Amino acid sequence: MVLEATMIVIDNSEYMRNGDYTPTRFEAQADSVNLIFSAKTQSNPESAVGLMTMGGKGPEVLVTLTTDLGKILSAIVQAKVQGEAHLVTGIQVAALALKHRQNKSQRQRIIVFVGSPIHESEKELLALAKKMKKNNVSVDFINFGDVAENADKLEKFVAAVNSDDNSHLLSVAPGPHLLSDEIASSNILVGEDGMPSAAGGADAGEVFEFGVNPNLEPELALALRMSLEDERARQERAAQEAQVQPTIAEEDEAGEAAAADAPAPAPDAPDAPAPDAPGADKMNTD
């Protein structure tokens, strides 16, 4: 699979307090970040993912490129919902973080969650898109919350940055579905070979062990894996016992055969009477 360095930019503006996405816009993002991280690192163990916010006073890098999911999850918990989003600056900071990646063979990608109104002008966005394309940076947008209001600007940005279909826009309207489920089955998590990446949603079930996505159903996947391991252990024990039992039987048969071939012991001769026995004097007299 593709070797990538990915910066995830989350929207932590005040709009993320809204509950129109389950359970809130911000928490829906957090679940999705977990999914994206797993997809990228499972598709290629040398891929790395970073995390940053674009709300509040300005963008902030929470975690530089890493393969440690724990760092990402810890950073999300500590992130604060505040202020308004700074989309253009956020993408610029993400691109700078990618530029300083240690493994230069990693392709550069930015995934941006946009859950609040975009205040930047179309002109600013298009200029940034062309710059990203020039620097070979792919940009994916997850448009939720103010979907209709932001759609036009984001569509034009993706059209300008796109090169060989390397950038995508996913718009997710509020509904009973989970944001992470919509992302899992989208082009954002589909590999360049056309196959779903390792954590890529319901349609990707066929590429998983047991046909279960461990990121979407971790408890079920763990239970199935433990069950399989127990069954393998049982079969190994049964095979070992099957090998030991014939050996014991052969040893028993060999022992019985050896006992049958051994000469029978000679019968014991009757004991001669002792000199002082009563019978001895009688024999001497005669």
Alpha-carbon gap, residue 259 to 255, rounded angstroms: 6
Backbone angles phi, psi at 93, to 5 degrees: -65, -40
Q: Where are the domains of the chain?
A: 4-204, 208-243
pLDDT at 241: 80
For 200-250, what is each residue's pLDDT tens digit?
444 433 344 444 455 555 556 566 666 666 777 777 788 888 776 665 556
CB burial of 66-90 (b: ≥16 within 10 Å; e: otherwise) equals beeeebbeebbeebebeebbbbbeb
For 244-265, what is each residue's pLDDT tens digit?
666 555 666 666 666 666 565 5
pLDDT at 202: 40
pTM above 0.85, yes or no: no
* Cβ neighbourhood burial of 22 (10 Å; 0-12, 13-18, 19+): middle
CATH number of 4-204: 3.40.50.410
Query: Looking at per-residue confidence, does 233 or 58 come out higher?
Result: 58
pLDDT at 257: 61
Helix (H, G, I), strand (E, B) or coil at 234: helix
For 3-48, what is each residue's pLDDT tens digit?
999 999 999 999 999 999 999 999 999 999 999 999 999 999 999 9
- Cβ pair 118, 153 in contact under 8 A: yes
For residue 100, the 8-state DSSP code is: T
